[in-house]
């Protein structure tokens, strides 16, 4: 059971982080000094950044369009007849919307978006609410905090990322393996390509502990992959490529629905919860966002 003092410590930490964020300090570097586990550091830092990507929409619109013109063409050229897609590390949905706008012209697709930060998904979902309802977009949003995706093996056609693996240097291998597990056709990952960087870019990526060695890992795992290099980057100091990983489709195609992320057993949907008959555990649904988290305390540091 989570202790009262732990809840109070987290609340106090959020207050401290708000001050640090206003001073424009690097939150991840600040938190690393407190010796928290890497996933918690990423979650806390992204919670405090909630809303910042929405505010910068117009600033990055021009480069985002160029980048996602390439990404969307790569996605649809390599994966045909997509019926379902998961954006892992979707944040405020700002960049997933470029993909949705591209795909929704073709046919009805089941969209999934997940992130460590409940706050970012909450703000993003509300920001795009009118657009989602107007275009009748079938979008399922959920949080995770342990890199275990609550979906069956080979259940979702394609999994995509946009710099979501970037801050997960230590967990890069496990994340890609998990994305590969739940995918049916494969992965389309837009992530830092450390090996293409110049001396300054590599030093910067090393300083922030960004992911590196993706090509080496894919080759070692004997994945069927190819690398699409780009002339445009969201951040020119952080060069990235599109890593397309194809997967042989399984003969057994499970039903696309949420499962218990730990036991991988079926869940029942109740009014505002998913319920596990196997473990008797409840997973809450907040404002349409399913929370598959091991945290007993749920915080929302930015309500608007």
What fold is seen in the domain 63-246?
Rossmann fold (3.40.50)
Distance between CA atoms of residues 223 and 216, nearest Å: 11
Residue 159 pLDDT > 90: yes
Cross-strand pairs, 227: 243
Inter-CA distances, 222 with 37, 102, 133, 170, 229, Å: 30, 31, 42, 20, 20
Confidence at residue 69, expressed as pLDDT on a 0 to 100 scale: 96
If DSSP states are collapsed to H, E and C, what string results for 28-55? HHHHHCCCCCHHHHHHHHHHHHCCHHHH
Nearest to 232, CA basis, from 53, 58, 70, 60: 70
Q: Kindly report, residue by residue over 238-272, the tens digit of the pLDDT.
A: 999 999 999 987 777 788 999 999 889 999 898 88
In the chain, what percentage of residues exceed pLDDT 70?
Answer: 82
Between 293 and 83, the higher pLDDT residue: 83
Q: Taking the complete model, does pTM exceed 0.85, yes or no?
A: yes
Please provide residue 236's backbone torsions phi and psi, each rounded to the nearest 5 degrees: -60, -20
Please list the residue range(s) of the chain that carry CATH number 3.40.50.150.
63-246
Say if CB 258 and CB 151 are below 8 A apart.
yes
Determine the distance from the C-alpha atom of residue 14 to the mean position of all C-alpha atoms in its chain, rounded to a whole number: 22
Q: Kindly report, residue by residue over 76-127, the tens digit of the pLDDT.
A: 999 999 999 999 999 999 999 999 999 987 778 999 999 988 999 999 999 9
Confidence at residue 290, expressed as pLDDT on a 0 to 100 scale: 95
Q: What is the DSSP string of 233-275?
A: -SSTTS-EEEEEEE-PPPS-------B-TTT--B-EE-SSEEE
Confidence at residue 7, expressed as pLDDT on a 0 to 100 scale: 55
SS3 state of residue 21: helix
Confidence at residue 30, expressed as pLDDT on a 0 to 100 scale: 63
């Amino acid at each position: 059971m989570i202790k009262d003092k732990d809840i109070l410590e987290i609340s106090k930490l959020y207050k401290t982080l708000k001050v640090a964020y206003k001073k424009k300090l690097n939150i991840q570097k600040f938190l690393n000094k407190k010796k928290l586990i890497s996933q918690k550091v990423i979650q806390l830092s992204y919670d405090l950044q909630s809303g910042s990507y929405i505010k910068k929409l117009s600033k990055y619109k021009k480069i985002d369009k160029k980048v996602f013109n390439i990404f969307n063409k790569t996605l649809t050229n390599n994966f045909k007849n997509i019926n379902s897609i998961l954006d892992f590390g979707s944040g405020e949905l700002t960049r997933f919307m470029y993909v949705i706008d591209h795909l929704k012209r073709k046919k009805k697709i089941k969209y999934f978006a997940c992130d460590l930060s409940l706050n970012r998904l909450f703000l993003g979902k509300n920001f795009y609410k009118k657009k989602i309802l107007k275009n009748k977009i079938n979008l399922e949003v959920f949080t995770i905090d342990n890199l275990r995706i609550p979906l069956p093996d080979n259940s979702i056609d394609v999994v995509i990322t946009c710099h979501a693996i970037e801050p997960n240097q230590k967990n890069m291998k496990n994340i890609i393996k998990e994305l590969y597990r739940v995918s049916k056709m494969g992965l389309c990952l837009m992530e830092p390509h450390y090996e293409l960087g110049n001396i300054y870019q590599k030093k910067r990526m090393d300083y922030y502990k960004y992911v590196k060695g993706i090509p080496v890992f894919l080759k070692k795992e004997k994945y069927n992959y190819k690398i699409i290099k780009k002339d445009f980057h969201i951040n020119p100091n952080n060069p990235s490529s599109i890593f397309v990983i194809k997967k042989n489709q399984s003969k057994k195609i499970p039903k696309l629905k949420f499962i218990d992320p730990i036991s991988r057993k079926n869940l029942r949907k109740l009014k505002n919860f998913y319920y596990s008959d196997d473990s008797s555990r409840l997973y809450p649904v907040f404002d349409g966002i399913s929370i598959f988290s091991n945290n007993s305390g749920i915080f929302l540091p930015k309500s608007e």
